[in-house]
């Protein structure tokens, strides 16, 4: 398969906040209030124009505004599953309508066609022209006050001298909607709260918090319905299972527990494999995760004609990633070559703050997917932009483009995984050409890392003020690694995506779409 360059969209949470929205998932909170019909229609139109603005900027894939709509968020807001499905359908319709509008503009709007064909002389001119196009099409939100000169002062843009124009990879010219799904713990209540973590111990005194850390043993009875190959129901006896429960299953975002690294690894090995990352800051069972997976997968299946991709966005819990993947097989060919898995890494090796490396887990996923071929792309989302190169480097270092996988050289960051990984890599060499998979990247503009302090129950986003941290400056080195999808997460707006499109147009001789 010959890969193409994809331009992804930017942030929704921070961008909607910038435009004056009170909350990200406005349909769940605002609809139904008396006298709010007119305001709701304005917000829907504002979101549609945001999707459309990303397409105008150069994106060919936009994500639906469904990141935080899940069974937990619905239960927290006393919303029925039926109503939840209506909310998801509405967000999908808004994104789909923006694609249809953009296709009409590409065919019929002369000013837009002329702007896309005539390359601007400078970045400043490009942004000014983009702003004029949006204004002429009446898709600029009243709160979207943008000054090109001030914007350009936020960062330094770097261009290589004597750059070689790349001709082998072409820009993708299909315009698609991806059904965005955040992790189950993504129950935002407002823009200042991260995954409900600030509510975990709210109102509890120190003694109560300490009790939460104690380990308890629970006995539960499980009755599992089963069918044999002749579809005859079989009654499996009820069995009693011992389950350990501890607040340590709620892993801190960076290890501040005082345990040494080796001790922590040994402790984790006694628990379920693939269970840890940025964990759930809510009480959650396996059945809740499974039910939520089915809820989202069924929504995608119902709306298959409007959706091109199913996206796991900013996934940081390995258990949930594999749970989602496991359930894809129950939906036939609906997910064939249409799944995008975007992962959050809190350092240059590991998913979330687990002991599992990005490279290991992705190779295992591709090993499982060798026959199914559900996965269209693997990506990073909301990650520190300076981590991206090192995270993707093993794919170039150990997986050559001519099916010559260098198995013997690889040593996993997790020693227990080394032998497993050699088996996986050998099998990948036989069954799936890994370079068929697309690699996407949508970093955060300013995030360094996320930390959580158990003593104060405080989530801290460590940010940087370096002006150079923009995707624009990394495109060539990332393309050299094999990354072929570029966008942005928090604080990336349509103007940022337009910058990425401008740079890509200068790199590839085929120009813009």
In a domain, 159, yes or no: yes
What pLDDT does residue 396 have?
Answer: 84
In a domain, 232, yes or no: no
What pLDDT does residue 231 have?
Answer: 40
Q: With bands split at pLDDT 50, 70 and 90, how would you rate the model's confidence at 513?
A: very low
Give the model confidence (pLDDT) of 233-257 as tens digits: 433 334 333 333 333 333 223 223 3
What pLDDT does residue 410 have?
Answer: 80
In a domain, 204, yes or no: no
Is the model's pLDDT at 113 over the cut of 60? yes
Average pLDDT over residues 457-480: 80
Percent of the chain, pLDDT > 70? 72
Average pLDDT over residues 268-295: 59
Exposure of 322 in the CB half-sphere (CA atoms within 13 A)? 17
E strand spans, 267-362: 309-315, 339-343
Give the model confidence (pLDDT) of 133-161 as tens digits: 999 999 998 888 888 888 888 888 877 65
Give the model confidence (pLDDT) of 491-506 as tens digits: 899 999 999 999 998 8
Inter-axis angle of helices 388-398 and 358-372, to 10 degrees?
50
Exposure of 388 in the CB half-sphere (CA atoms within 13 A)? 36
For residues 490 and 384, give the distance between their C-alpha atoms in angstroms, rounded to a whole number.
11
What pLDDT does residue 463 have?
Answer: 80
Among the listed ranges 270-279, 361-370, 388-397, 497-506, which one has the minimum average pLDDT value?
A: 270-279
The CATH code of the domain that includes 422 is 3.20.20.330
What pLDDT does residue 320 have?
Answer: 85
Number of structural domains (the chain) is 1
Question: Over the chain, what is the mean pLDDT?
Answer: 76
Is the model's pLDDT at 208 over the cut of 70? no
Q: Given the structure tokens 């539960």, which residue do they identify? A: 220
In a domain, 300, yes or no: yes
Average pLDDT over residues 34-50: 84
In a domain, 96, yes or no: yes
What pLDDT does residue 332 have?
Answer: 80
DSSP per-residue codes, 35-104: T-HHHHHHHHHHHHHHHHHHHHHT-SEEE-S-TT-SHHHHHHTT--HHHHHHHHHHHHHHHHHHHHHHHH
Q: Rg of the Cα trace of the chain?
A: 23
Other CB atoms within 10 Å distance of the CB of residue 393: 14
In a domain, 231, yes or no: no
For residues 328 and 310, give the distance between their C-alpha atoms in angstroms, rounded to a whole number.
11
In a domain, 66, yes or no: yes
Give the model confidence (pLDDT) of 285-301 as tens digits: 778 888 999 999 999 99
Give the model confidence (pLDDT) of 319-350 as tens digits: 889 989 999 989 988 999 999 999 998 889 88
- Candidates 5, 29, 1, 156; CA nearest to 478 is 5
- Candidates 258, 347, 314; CA nearest to 441 is 314
In a domain, 240, yes or no: no
| Boundaries of domain holding 335 | 4-196+292-444+465-507
Give the model confidence (pLDDT) of 405-463 as tens digits: 677 778 887 777 888 888 888 877 666 666 689 999 999 888 887 776 666 656 677 88
Between 200 and 477, the more confident residue is 477
For residues 59 and 94, give the distance between their C-alpha atoms in angstroms, rounded to a whole number.
16
């Amino acid at each position: 398969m010959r890969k193409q360059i994809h331009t992804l969209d930017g942030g929704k949470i921070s961008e909607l906040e910038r435009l004056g929205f009170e909350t990200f998932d406005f349909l769940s909170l605002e609809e139904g209030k008396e006298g709010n019909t007119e305001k709701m229609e304005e917000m829907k139109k504002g979101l549609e124009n945001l999707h459309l603005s990303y397409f105008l900027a150069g994106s060919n894939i936009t994500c639906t505004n469904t990141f935080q709509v899940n069974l937990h968020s619905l239960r927290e807001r006393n919303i029925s599953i039926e109503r939840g499905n209506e909310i998801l359908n509405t967000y999908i319709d808004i994104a789909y309508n923006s694609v249809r509008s953009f296709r009409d503009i590409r065919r019929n709007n002369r000013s837009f066609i002329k702007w896309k064909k005539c390359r601007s002389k400078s970045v400043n001119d490009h942004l000014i022209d983009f702003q004029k196009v949006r204004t002429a099409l009446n898709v600029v939100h009243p709160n979207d006050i943008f000054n090109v000169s001030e914007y350009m002062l936020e960062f330094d843009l770097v261009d290589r001298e004597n750059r070689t124009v790349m001709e082998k990879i072409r820009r993708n010219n299909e315009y698609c909607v991806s059904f965005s799904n955040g992790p189950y713990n993504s129950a935002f209540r407002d823009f200042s709260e991260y995954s409900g973590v600030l509510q975990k111990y709210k109102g509890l005194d120190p003694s109560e918090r300490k009790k939460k850390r104690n380990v308890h043993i629970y006995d539960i009875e499980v009755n599992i319905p089963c069918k044999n190959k002749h579809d005859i129901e079989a009654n499996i006896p009820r069995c009693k299972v011992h389950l350990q429960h501890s607040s340590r299953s709620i892993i801190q975002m960076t290890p501040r527990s005082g345990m040494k690294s080796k001790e922590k690894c040994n402790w984790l090995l006694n628990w379920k494999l693939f269970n840890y990352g940025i964990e759930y800051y809510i009480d959650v069972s396996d059945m809740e995760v499974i039910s939520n997976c089915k809820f989202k997968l069924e929504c995608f299946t119902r709306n298959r004609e409007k959706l091109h991709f199913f996206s796991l966005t900013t996934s940081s819990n390995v258990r949930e990633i594999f749970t989602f993947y496991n359930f894809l097989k129950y939906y036939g060919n609906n997910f064939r070559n249409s799944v995008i898995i975007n992962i959050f890494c809190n350092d240059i090796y590991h998913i979330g703050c687990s002991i599992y490396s990005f490279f290991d887990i992705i190779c295992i996923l591709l090993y499982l997917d060798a026959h199914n071929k559900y996965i269209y792309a693997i990506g990073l989302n909301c990650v520190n932009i300076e981590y991206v190169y090192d995270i993707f480097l093993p794919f170039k270092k150990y997986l050559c483009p001519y099916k010559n996988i260098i198995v013997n050289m690889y040593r996993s960051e997790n020693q227990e995984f080394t032998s497993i990984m050699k088996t996986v890599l050998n099998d990948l060499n036989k069954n799936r050409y890994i370079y068929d998979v697309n690699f996407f990247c949508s970093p955060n503009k300013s995030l360094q890392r996320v930390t959580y302090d158990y003593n104060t129950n405080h989530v801290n986003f460590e940010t940087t003020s370096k002006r150079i941290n923009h995707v624009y400056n990394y495109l060539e080195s990332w393309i050299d690694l094999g990354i072929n999808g570029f966008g942005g997460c928090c604080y990336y707006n349509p103007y940022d995506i337009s910058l990425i499109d401008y740079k890509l147009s200068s790199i590839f001789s085929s120009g813009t779409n």
